[in-house]
């Protein structure tokens, strides 16, 4: 049975209408919430874009080097085919110390090889030093000369009966293989630094790869010695 409404009351089941100022405040609050959501989303998008841009700029930054413009000494030039095979074709630095006037002396030639500037993932730096003794006591002097770093001198059958080798790992992904060896009147010292760059984290080069490539560089250096 229909019951009449009280004077000015809303129909049954309906809330009373809100005053205009309440409606305006609610509308303003909704607008502010929408604006805040938009601002937060824009900040996340911009922040993510900036962060991604920073990671991308680091990832695509070159790990190589331009080749030096001056001619390479013969000892370094002879290494080029091996360096190209190892992915470090650019000769970036050379130092040569000629023999002295002493009866027995040595010529020291060192060269550093890097990837091309187009490389951005493989970080490689391969330093090769060739110390060739000359004179009547050349081989004895070479045998008396100690390795440039502390370590046990042992035979490496594929390279020499007098050699020293180690691999160093840092707290990061960077690794370095170091090999020193003597054959007759020639000493070779190789330092091979390497890591593979990742978008977020870098990766270590496996120890067997470091060892194999350092040994390849050492054998090529002995072949190139005068």
CATH of 74-224, one of 2.60.120, 1.20.140, 2.60.40, 3.20.20: 2.60.120
Tokens for 180?
A: 């020193």
pLDDT of residue 190: 97
pLDDT of residue 50: 46
The domain segmentation of the chain, as residue ranges, is 19-59, 74-224
Dist CA 108 CA 179 (whole Å): 17
Q: What angle (nearest 5°) sits at the alpha carbon of residue 94, between those of residues 197 and 215?
A: 60
Tokens for 92?
A: 């970036």
Return the closest-CA partner of residue 108 out of 80, 150, 81, 73: 73
- Report pTM: 0.74
Phi/psi of residue 69, nearest 5 degrees: -85, -25
Q: Give burial (CB, 10 Å; 0-12/13-18/19+) of 224.
A: buried
Using an 8 Å Cβ cutoff, are 218 and 188 in contact?
yes
Q: Block means of pLDDT (10 residues each) for the chain, length 226 residues?
A: 50 56 52 64 58 61 92 96 97 94 90 96 96 92 80 88 91 91 95 90 93 97 92
Return the closest-CA partner of residue 216 out of 188, 194, 195, 196: 188
Dist CA 27 CA 24 (whole Å): 5
């Amino acid at each position: 049975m229909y019951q009449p409404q009280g004077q000015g009351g809303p129909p049954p089941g309906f809330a009373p209408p809100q005053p205009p100022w309440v409606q305006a405040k609610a509308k303003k609050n909704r607008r502010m919430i929408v604006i805040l959501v938009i601002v937060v989303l824009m900040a996340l998008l911009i922040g993510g874009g900036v962060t991604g841009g920073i990671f991308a700029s680091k990832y695509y930054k070159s790990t190589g080097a331009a080749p030096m413009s001056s001619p390479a000494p013969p000892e370094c030039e002879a290494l080029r085919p091996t360096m190209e095979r190892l992915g470090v074709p650019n000769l970036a630095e050379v130092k040569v110390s000629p023999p002295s006037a002493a009866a027995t002396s040595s010529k020291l030639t060192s060269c550093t090889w890097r990837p091309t500037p187009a490389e951005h993932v493989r970080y490689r730096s391969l330093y090769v030093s060739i110390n060739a003794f000359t004179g009547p006591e050349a081989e004895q002097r070479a045998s008396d000369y100690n390795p440039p770093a502390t370590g046990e001198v042992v035979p490496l059958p594929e390279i020499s009966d007098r050699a020293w080798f180690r691999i160093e790992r840092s707290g990061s992904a960077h690794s370095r293989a170091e090999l020193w060896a003597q054959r007759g009147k020639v000493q070779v010292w190789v330092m091979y630094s390497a890591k593979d760059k990742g978008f977020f984290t870098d990766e270590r080069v496996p120890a067997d790869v470091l060892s194999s490539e350092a040994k390849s560089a050492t054998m090529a250096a002995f072949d190139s010695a005068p």
